[in-house]
Amino acid sequence: MNTVPPSPERDRWRALRPLVHRDFRILFGAVVLSISAAGMWAVVMVYAVIRISDDPVQLSIVAAANAVGLLACAIPGGIAADRLPRRLILRAVETANVLAIGSVIIAGQLGALTIGHLALVSLVLGAGAGFFFPSYSAILPRILPTEHLLPANGLEGAVRPALQQAAGPAMAGLLLAALIPSQAAIAVLVAHALALVLLLFLRPEPAAMSADAGGDVSATARSIRHDLVEAVSFTVRTPWLLWTLLFATIWVLVTMGPEEVLLPFVTRERFGADPRLFGFLLACFGVGGVVGSIVVSSLRMPRRYLTAMTLVWGVSTLPFVVIGLTHQYWLMAVSGFACGFGFSYGNVIWGTLLQRRVPRHMLGRISSLDFFVSLALMPISMALAGPLSTVVPIPVIFVVAGVVPFVLSLVVIWLARMPHDEIAHPLEEHHRTDVTP
C-alpha cells in the first residue's frame, strides 16, 4: 500500500474537515442538541425517580424501559433507514422526543408524575434512539466523502460524551440544585425542539448517492424477511463483525447495570446526596470520551484497527474495579475519565469500520443489528442491577464488571483472527468528489 500522506496543514485540521459540508453541519448541530438533551435527561430522570420513590428497584424499572424501547426498535429502525428517507426518520424521532418530555413537564407541574409515566417516557426515548442511530449512521457516507468519515465519527464521538456525560449532566445537576425535576426538564425540551428545527433545513440526499445505494432503489420489491436474512447472513459469515457484536453483548450485560443504576447510589452513599456530585462524576466519563474521540479522529485509521479497537475496549473496563472499591472521589473521577477515553476511542473506529466495510445498501440494517445484538441484554442488566445489589456487595459487582470484558476482549481477538483480517483488508483512504459541500 503506497499512499501519499496529506500535507501537515491538512493534518492539523483533520478532525474538522467534515464541517465544510453544509448538510453535515446541519445534521451535526441537531445531533449536538439532541445529545445535550439526553445528557440532561439522564440526571433529571434519576432524581425524578428518587423524588417519587427512593428505591434502586424503581430506578431499575425506568432505566430498563429505555433499554427495552431501544432494543424493540433497533431492527425496525435499521429496515426503515434502508427503505425510507433518513432525514424524515430523524425529524419524526425528535418530534416524539419533544412530546414525551413535554408530558413529563406537564404531569410534574400538576403533581401527577408517576414511576409508570417515567417508564413510558423512557420507553419512548429508547425507541427513538433505536430509529435515530441507524439513520444517522447510514446517512453519513451518503453526504460525506470517504476520507471524512473517520473525523466525522470522531466529532460525534467527541460531542457525545462531552454533552451526554459531561456538560449535560453537569447542567442538569446545577438545575436540580434549584428546581424540581419536572421544571429542570424544560431545558431538555428546549434542546430537543431546537434539534427538530435544525433538521427541517436538512436537504434530501444527493440523487447520485441515492441511486448508488442499491437498497433504496429496489426496497419496495423486497420483503422485510429478505432484508433481515440478508443482513444476518452477512453478519454471521463476517467473523470480525460477529465476534465484536457478541463481545459487546457481554460487555453491556456486566457493565451497563452497575454504571446506570448503581453508580448514583454509590456516589450518594460515599460522598453525599448533592446532585452535583453525581452530575460531575458523569462529566468525568464524558471528558474522557471527548479526549479519546479527539485523539483517534486526529490520526489516520490504525493499521491494526480491529485489534486496537477491541483491546482498548477491554482495557477501558478495568477502572470499574477502582470505582467499586475506592472511597476517594478524585480517584473515582479519574477512573471514570479512563473508562470514557477507552470506550469512545474504540467507538470511533467501530463506526468508521461499519461505514467502510459494510455494503452501503445494508448499512442501516447492519447498524440496527449492531444496536440489537450488542444491547440485547441491556434490559436484563438494568433490571437485575438493583435487586442484585441487595444480595451481592456492590464492590464485587463493579469488580466483575471491570475484569470480565478485559479477559473476553483477548479471547475475541484470537477467535475472530483479527490480526490476520485487518492485514488482509487494509482501510486505505480514497478521495471521492461526488458529494456537494
pLDDT at 108 over 70: yes
pLDDT in tens, 196-231: 999 998 888 765 444 444 444 444 445 777 777 888
pLDDT in tens, 145-182: 777 777 777 777 777 766 766 677 667 777 776 677 77
| Contact status, residue 144 vs residue 152, Cβ threshold 8 Å | yes
Fold for domain 13-205+224-424? Growth Hormone; Chain: A; (1.20.1250)
What's the whole-number average pLDDT of the chain? 81
| Contact status, residue 246 vs residue 310, Cβ threshold 8 Å | no
3-class secondary structure, 391 = coil
Nearest to 265, CA basis, from 31, 24, 54: 54
What DSSP line would sit under 351-392, residue for residue? HHHHHHHS-GGGHHHHHHHHHHHHTTTHHHHHHHHHHHTTTS
* Per-residue model confidence (pLDDT) at position 73: 87
Residue type, 402: G
* Per-residue model confidence (pLDDT) at position 8: 41
Distance of alpha carbon 46 from alpha carbon 68, whole angstroms:
17
Distance of alpha carbon 190 from alpha carbon 230, whole angstroms:
40
pLDDT at 348 over 80: yes
Q: How far is CA 132 from CA 69, 213, 257, 276, 368, in A?
A: 12, 19, 23, 30, 10
- What are the domain boundaries of the chain? 13-205+224-424
3-class secondary structure, 81 = helix
Model's pTM, two decimal places?
Answer: 0.67
> With 0-12 CB in 10 A as exposed, 13-18 as middle and 19+ as buried, what is 237?
exposed
Q: What is the mean pLDDT of residues 66-95?
A: 87
Distance of alpha carbon 328 from alpha carbon 67, whole angstroms:
31
Q: Which residue has the higher pLDDT, 298 or 252?
A: 252
Residue type, 15: A
pLDDT at 278 over 50: yes
Distance of alpha carbon 317 from alpha carbon 11, whole angstroms:
31
| Contact status, residue 59 vs residue 383, Cβ threshold 8 Å | no
* Per-residue model confidence (pLDDT) at position 171: 75
Neighbouring residues of 403: CB distance < 8 A, sequence distance ≥ 6: 317, 318, 321
Banded model confidence at residue 15, pLDDT cuts 50, 70, 90: low
* Per-residue model confidence (pLDDT) at position 433: 39
Is the Cα dihedral 235, 240, 241, 245 positive or negative? Answer: positive
Nearest to 421, CA basis, from 309, 302, 305: 305
Q: Find the radius of gyration of the CA atoms of the chain.
A: 21
pLDDT at 117 over 70: yes
* Per-residue model confidence (pLDDT) at position 206: 64
H or E, element range at 199: helix 181-199
* Per-residue model confidence (pLDDT) at position 272: 79
| Contact status, residue 361 vs residue 215, Cβ threshold 8 Å | yes
Q: How many CB atoms lie within 10 A of CB 12?
A: 11
pLDDT at 235 over 70: yes
Banded model confidence at residue 334, pLDDT cuts 50, 70, 90: very high
pLDDT at 55 over 80: no
